[in-house]
Amino acid sequence: MAILRFVLLTILVLVVLRLVRFALAPPRRPAGRSAPPPRTLPEALVQDPVCGLRLPASRAVRDGEAFFCSEDCRRASRGR
Ligand SMILES: [Zn+2]
CA of 66 to the centre of ligand 1 (A): 11
58-79 confidence digits (pLDDT tens): 999 999 999 999 999 999 998 7
Kindly give the pairing relationship between strand 61-63 and strand 54-56: unpaired
Burial group, residue 48, by CB count within 10 angstroms (0-12, 13-18, 19+): buried
CA of 64 to the centre of ligand 1 (A): 16
1-52 confidence digits (pLDDT tens): 788 999 999 989 999 999 989 888 877 766 767 676 666 677 789 999 999 9
CA of 41 to the centre of ligand 1 (A): 24
Per-residue confidence (pLDDT) for residue 66, from 0 to 100: 93
